[in-house]
Structure 1
C-alpha cells in the first residue's frame, strides 16, 4: 500500500464522540465506513476521502460552536439523505441550492454536524 502523506497538507481529522458505538454504527450503516479501534475511547477510519477518527468526549463539533464543517460528496442527494435518516442521523438543514450545487446538513448520533453536497 502506498501512503500519500503530502508535505504541509491536511492529512487527518479527529472528532469528539459522546456515543462512540452509536457514531460507528451510524457511519457503518449510512456510508459503509469501517473502523479500527485503538482502545475503548478511540476509533479510526481510513479511505473516506480523508482519514480520521473519533475520540470519546462529551463534546460535539458544529458550525454553531465554531467547529469546521466537513462536507461529503454524493451523486444522489435524496438517496444519501434517506440512508442518513435510516441510520439514525438527523437532517438539520434540508436540501438547498448554492452557487455550484446543492447540499444539506445533518448530525450523527454524537451530535457532530456534517454536510453532503451534489452537483446541480
Structure 2
C-alpha cells in the first residue's frame, strides 16, 4: 500500500446508511460497497472512506474535523446539495484563496465545499 503514514481513509457516522448513499451518490457521484447492515464503504470521492451506523453526527461545533470538498462551480454544487436534501449550515463566504459553504447531509454531518471563484 502506498502513502506510508499519510491519511488514507475517512469514516463518518450515519444513522441512515441508505440516505447517505442516496445523497452522496446523487450530489457527488460517489460509489458504494455494503459491508453488512452497519457499514458502507465509499469510493470515487477523492479519498476513500465509509459510513458506520451511529446516531451521532460530525459537526465543527462539536469539535469534529471538517471534510472539505472541491468544486469548479460552487453555485451548481450548492444547488445539488439542496436538491438532494442537504441543508446549508454556513452560507457562501469568501476566504483567502476562494469561497466556500458548509452543509449538513441528511444524517446531520457537516462538510464544506470550496472553489477558487
Q: TM-score range by the shorter chain?
A: over 0.9
The count of corresponding residues between Structure 1 and Structure 2 is 117
Report the equivalent of 2:91. 94
Equivalent residue of 1:85, what SS? helix
Q: Is the 8 A contact 1:17 1:59 kept in 2?
A: yes
- Which stretches in structure 2 are left out of the alignment for 5+ residues? none
**Alpha carbons 2:29, 2:44 under 8 Å: kept:** no
Q: Distance in 2 between matches of 1:5 and 1:73?
A: 23
Q: In the alignment, which residue of structure 2 is the partner of 1:116?
A: 113
Instruction: Tell me, yes or no, if the aligned pair for 2:31 and 2:44 is still in contact at 8 Å.
Output: no
Q: Tell me, yes or no, if structure 1 residue 13 matches structure 2 residue 10.
A: yes
Output the TM-score relative to the length of structure 2.
0.97
Aligned with 1:61 (options 55, 58, 61): 58
- 5 Å-filtered alignment, 1:74-89, equals 74-89=71-86
Contact 1:5 1:11 in 2 (8 A): no
Deviation digits for residues 61-91 of structure 1, max 9, x if unmatched?
0001111000000000000000000000001
Structure 1 ranges of 4+ moved more than 6 A: none
Unpaired runs of 5+ residues, structure 1, are none
